[in-house]
Amino acid sequence: MATELEPTRRRKWLVTLVGLTLALGVASLPIGDWDHEFAGIGHLVGNEAIWWIYVAAILLYIRKIERRPLSSIGFRTPGIGNIALGVCAGLLITAVLGAMYFVVLPALHLNDSMASTTNANALMATPFWWRFISTIRAAVAEEVLFRGYAMERIEELSGSRTVAVVVSCAIFTLAHVSSWGWSHELFVAVGGLAFSLLYLWRRNLWVNIIAHFIVDAVSFLA
pLDDT digits (tens, 9 = 90+) for 46-91: 999 999 999 999 999 999 999 999 999 999 999 999 999 999 999 9
State the Cα–Cα distance between residues 59 and 199, nearest whole angstrom.
Answer: 18
- At 173-191, the pLDDT tens digits run 998 887 777 767 889 999 9
Q: How confident is the model at residue 7 (pLDDT cuts 50, 70, 90)?
A: confident
Q: Is the pLDDT of residue 4 over 60?
A: no
Q: How confident is the model at residue 37 (pLDDT cuts 50, 70, 90)?
A: confident
Question: Cα–Cα–Cα angle for 207, 208, 210, nearest 5°?
Answer: 70
State the Cα–Cα distance between residues 148 and 206, nearest whole angstrom.
Answer: 10
- At 101-122, the pLDDT tens digits run 888 778 777 666 544 666 778 8
State the Cα–Cα distance between residues 159 and 178, nearest whole angstrom.
Answer: 31
Closest CA to 146 of 115, 169, 122, 176: 169
Closest CA to 192 of 156, 143, 123: 143
State the Cα–Cα distance between residues 164 and 155, nearest whole angstrom.
Answer: 5
Q: Is the pLDDT of residue 1 over 50?
A: no
Portion of the chain with pLDDT greater than 90, in percent: 67
Mean of pLDDT over the chain? 89
State the Cα–Cα distance between residues 65 and 59, nearest whole angstrom.
Answer: 10
